[in-house]
Amino acid sequence: MYLNFFLKRFGQMIIVLILVSIIAFSLIRIAPGNPALMLVEDGASEESIHKMEEYLGLDKPLTEQYMIYMTNLIRGDFGTSITYKLPCIQLIAARMGATLTLAIFTVMVTIIIAFPMGILAGIKQGTAADVFAMLFALVGQSMSNIWLAMILIYVFATKLNLLPAYGFGQLKNIVLPAITMGYPTAAQVTRMLRSGMIDTLREDHITATRAKGIPEKEINFKYALRNALIPVVLMLGLQFGHLIGGALVVEQVFSWPGLGALTVQAINTRDYPLIQSILIIVSFLFVFMTIVVDFINKLVDPRMTLN
Amino acid sequence: MKKILAIILVCAMLCTLFAGCGSKTTNTPAAPTDAPAATQGAETPNTDNTPAQTDVPATDTPTVFTKDTVVLTTTEGVTTFNTYSYGGGLGTTITRLVCDAFTFMNQDGTYEMLLAEKVEHDDSGKIWTITLRDGVKFHDGTDLTTEDVIATMSYVRDNLDTLSAAKMNFNEFEDFYAIDEKTFVIVEKESKPETLMLQVLSQILTFPSERIAEGDDMFSNMPLIGCGPWKFVEWAVGQYVLLECFDDYYLPEKVSNIKYMKWQVMAEETTAISALTTGEIDGIRLISNTSVPQVQTIPGVDLVEDYGMSTYFHFQFAGDSPFNDYNVRKAFELCIDRAGIVDYIVGGGEVCNSMCRSIDVGYVPEMEAPAFDLELAKEYLEKSTYDGRTLNLMYPSYIIDVDDMMLQVSHDLESIGFKIELNSYTTAEFNERRAAGQYDVFFMQVGNGDPNMKLTVRVHDDGHNSSYFNEEMFKLIEKQSVTVDGAERNAVVQEIMHMMRDEVAPWTWGWTPAVIRCMRSGLTGYIMNGQVEDYKFLRAY
């Protein structure tokens, strides 16, 4: 069963990636802006521009350019960045570590904050804890993360001098970016988990377990939470997938060397190979995450079918 | 009870939310300056030991800088260290710390010798003999010889199609060759003015001949090796570049007393200011005018206002556009409140009275900056052939404060009857539209320094697609580029300046915005020489 599932999803992934490669390749070329013009002198002659296009391989027909790109891609060669003159894969790898680290810590912050709060709010519906959790969620979902980032920097870096305002490489560097990214997600998950818990706790099978005299703690965590977790796992997985694509605002504010800033820079400079490579790799990871999410959901709820 | 608790929680959250709103600073423009002063001595580069120019008052008395690493920030990351190709940005600034050129341009526009001991030319100004200084070593310990110079120059000449930034200089070389280990010759196709040659020589960086053999990868395969005062240590792409002081630098008195220089990428200015407050960083390369009041409250930080690296101009596309009519051009020139833009938007600088700064060749001191006279502008527009069509004013989005500047310009133009459509583009799209002539008028910045590049490339070679043609002016432009005698050339350029002002074509003058940097007190030796910013001789005192 698992083999079938993975083979099928792998096939789907290939199709998605081919489509992404075509879309990425076409869109960036449709957009105005010629990378050759960024590299030639002001007022360059047609000949100079053409020579630069030739050097960059942009003088060939689009279909040929695409075929060359895909052939190289299959060989594992993502091409060379036009602006950096470095292999795209090297540039992406250098940023991917930071992006993945931030994504993982963001999910951790989300889980640490949202799970206890959401579960408690669901179990203790209408109490002060519930009110607090809902306020927390409301603020988290309404607040812009750049605003939150500024406040965190102002309080924890500038005023209290407890954490660095920027940087990468040490554990203390990730605290503020992860909270900035994690808070809105935590707010969302808190609401979802709370409503999931409330719905599940009202269901007949929970009443039946209560009638059997099973302890409330076991009912909450073994039966109710398991059901409430299914949409939360899905959401967290997809959120993780989004985070892999880079978080431009947080990267900008905290000088976090992630993929978001690299993507924007590549788009601005019309660095075709780099944009294509980023989109393909991010798409691959996103699709991969959806497979992982499906698999985890199957583990959480054995009644689910993988197909 | 629940209600009370909820109210308390709401209050607590609101307090947190507004915690960042308590700034006591006000948003006022930086104090404008009359003219930026030079910080460098005339004899040798950066010999003084005083703080760099501080027109904007610092809030604290200078303190001693004791750290062994100076951390400077920049909003843009390094993309390439190749100064011979376009797109260098910060990479160019850093490469110039690692690699020395033959000459060095001071803040006051004068030139000093670096790798070159002397630069001589024949009477025609075509044959230039450059003698290298003794005792110059690359960071790998090898001696600098003319073999390295010729290898570097040959490499650049042979790859001019892709090393576009070098084209202007290298296309004018007839030949170059070594005479001995210390002397080489550059033969120009045409006579060359001395200041222009010194400028060319300030842009040629030399690499070890062994690295040249590595081909195009020499700029991306680290480490970068030069013979400048800072050694390359590490480049973390998208994060920072780390340099180390080079103890065997050939000018021992210029060796920095700071061990490391780190260039940290920090895209968000407010974060950089926070980091400056906490002492995590020591300088911000460029800050916007709106951040000045905030920085002024940070103790131990100097605000430094320098000449901008660029001057802003509006280029007028003639073609079949209304700008073929002198009256339209004149109306355009008269209705822009340049002084207002300088004072209230860019926060300092000066309104240009010509394309030259006061320290450049061709400056005309008696020429007045364009007046701001709406009534006169209206009169010119009324008697013009302008048919009320909407003019496409485009500009590149990367220029700091450009949206505010353009909104003001658009407002000024519309106040006398022009119809303006503002279009902001990324550099890639801007360049493409400019090349294709898809605009009526565009706004952009032009690098300062010797006026030859602006005159030859942008005006004479019609690089901006204007169909404006003035045979007399073009002949003068050709003449200034080959006039060896300094005084004579100065007069020729002045004549061109007058002509362009009289014709209001092919561009109209703009303004040179001040560049505001903030640096930790106790640092000195950083300059803005009108073309590039230089931290080559940065040191603590």
> Given this model, what pLDDT does residue B42 score?
30
Q: Cβ–Cβ of A48/B161 closer than 8 Å?
A: yes
> Given this model, what pLDDT does residue B35 score?
33
**CA A154 – CA B257 distance, rounded (Å):** 33
pTM of this structure = 0.82
> Pick from A37, A161, A255: which is nearest to B271 by CB?
A255
- Joined together, the tokens standing for residue A214 give 């099973």
In angstroms, what CA-CA distances link B71 with A154, B56, B261, B292?
20, 22, 6, 20
User: Mean per-residue pLDDT for B111-132?
Assistant: 94
Residue A89 has pLDDT above 50, yes or no: yes
Residue A175 has pLDDT above 60, yes or no: yes
> Given this model, what pLDDT does residue B13 score?
54
Residue of A nearest to B222 (CA): A86
Residue of A nearest to B18 (CA): A151
DSSP β-ladder status, B533-534 and B527-528: antiparallel
Q: Classify residue A155 as exposed, middle or buried by CB count within 10 Å of its CB (0-12, 13-18, 19+).
A: middle
Residue B27 has pLDDT above 80, yes or no: no
**CA A137 – CA A193 distance, rounded (Å):** 11
Q: How many residues does chain B have?
A: 541
pLDDT category of residue B452 using cuts at 50, 70 and 90 = confident
Residue B53 has pLDDT above 60, yes or no: no
pLDDT category of residue B48 using cuts at 50, 70 and 90 = very low
> Given this model, what pLDDT does residue B69 score?
93
pLDDT category of residue B1 using cuts at 50, 70 and 90 = low
User: Mean per-residue pLDDT for A15-33?
Assistant: 89
pLDDT > 90 in chain B, percent: 44
Residue of A nearest to B74 (CA): A255
**CA A85 – CA B220 distance, rounded (Å):** 7
> Given this model, what pLDDT does residue B429 score?
87
Regarding an ipTM greater than 0.95, the answer is no
Tell me which chain A residues have a C-beta less than 8 angstroms from the C-beta of B433. 32
> Given this model, what pLDDT does residue B318 score?
66
> Pick from B164, B238, B433: which is nearest to A41 by CB?
B164
- Residue-averaged pLDDT of chain B: 83
Q: What is the pLDDT of residues B356-411, one digit of tens each?
A: 777 788 888 889 889 999 999 999 999 999 999 999 999 998 887 889 999 999 99
> Pick from A41, A252, A268: which is nearest to B267 by CB?
A252
Q: Cβ–Cβ of B274/A165 closer than 8 Å?
A: yes
Residue B31 has pLDDT above 60, yes or no: no
Q: Cβ–Cβ of B79/A83 closer than 8 Å?
A: yes
pLDDT > 70 in chain A, percent: 97
- Residue-averaged pLDDT of chain A: 88
Name every residue whose Cβ is closer than 8 Å to that of residue A256 and which is 6 or more positions away in sequence. A98, A102, A166, A168, A177, A247, A250
> Given this model, what pLDDT does residue A4 score?
82
Left (φ > 0), alpha (ψ -120 to 50) or beta: where does A255 sit?
Answer: left
Q: What is the pLDDT of residues A264-304, one digit of tens each?
A: 888 888 899 999 999 999 999 888 888 888 888 777 777 77
Tell me which chain B residues have a C-beta less than 8 angstroms from the C-beta of A136. 13
Residue B309 has pLDDT above 70, yes or no: no
Q: What is the pLDDT of residues B280-308, one digit of tens each?
A: 999 998 888 888 888 999 999 998 887 66
- Greater pLDDT, B350 or B136: B136
> Given this model, what pLDDT does residue B7 score?
62
User: Mean per-residue pLDDT for B437-462?
Assistant: 81
> Given this model, what pLDDT does residue B52 score?
39
Residue A177 has pLDDT above 90, yes or no: yes
Q: Classify residue B371 as exposed, middle or buried by CB count within 10 Å of its CB (0-12, 13-18, 19+).
A: exposed
Q: What angle do CA A17, A18, A23 make, to 5 degrees?
A: 95
**CA A17 – CA B4 distance, rounded (Å):** 55
- Greater pLDDT, B538 or B459: B538
Which of B219, B278, B459 is the mutation pick for testing A, counting most A CBs within 10 A?
Answer: B278
- Greater pLDDT, B42 or B475: B475
Tell me which chain A residues have a C-beta less than 8 angstroms from the C-beta of B95. none
> Given this model, what pLDDT does residue B57 score?
42
User: How far off is chain A from B16, nearest CA to CA, in Å?
Assistant: 8
Tell me which chain B residues have a C-beta less than 8 angstroms from the C-beta of A255. 239, 264-268, 271
Tell me which chain A residues have a C-beta less than 8 angstroms from the C-beta of B85. 39
Q: For residue B73, what are the β-bridge partners?
A: B264, B284
pLDDT category of residue B218 using cuts at 50, 70 and 90 = low
User: Mean per-residue pLDDT for B185-206?
Assistant: 93
Q: What is the pLDDT of residues B137-164, one digit of tens each?
A: 999 999 999 999 999 999 999 988 888 8
pLDDT category of residue A7 using cuts at 50, 70 and 90 = confident
Closest residue by Cα to residue B533 from B103, B168, B114, B94: B94
- Greater pLDDT, A36 or B218: A36
Give SS3 for B445: strand
User: Mean per-residue pLDDT for B1-8?
Assistant: 58
Give SS3 for B104: strand
A/B interface, count of CB pairs below 8 Å? 174
Residue of B nearest to A91 (CA): B237
> Given this model, what pLDDT does residue B5 score?
55
User: Mean per-residue pLDDT for B203-221?
Assistant: 79
Residue of B nearest to A50 (CA): B161
Q: Cβ–Cβ of A131/B2 closer than 8 Å?
A: yes
Q: What is the pLDDT of residues A224-252, one digit of tens each?
A: 888 888 888 888 888 888 888 768 888 88
Closest residue by Cα to residue B111 from B176, B40, B165, B168: B40
- Joined together, the tokens standing for residue B444 give 């952009």
Q: Cβ–Cβ of B427/A128 closer than 8 Å?
A: no
The string of DSSP letters for B135-183 reads T-B-TTSPBP-HHHHHHHHHHHHHTTTT-GGGHHHHTTEEEEEESSSSE
> Pick from A40, A94, A147: which is nearest to B237 by CB?
A94
Peptide bond into B45 cis (omega under 30): no
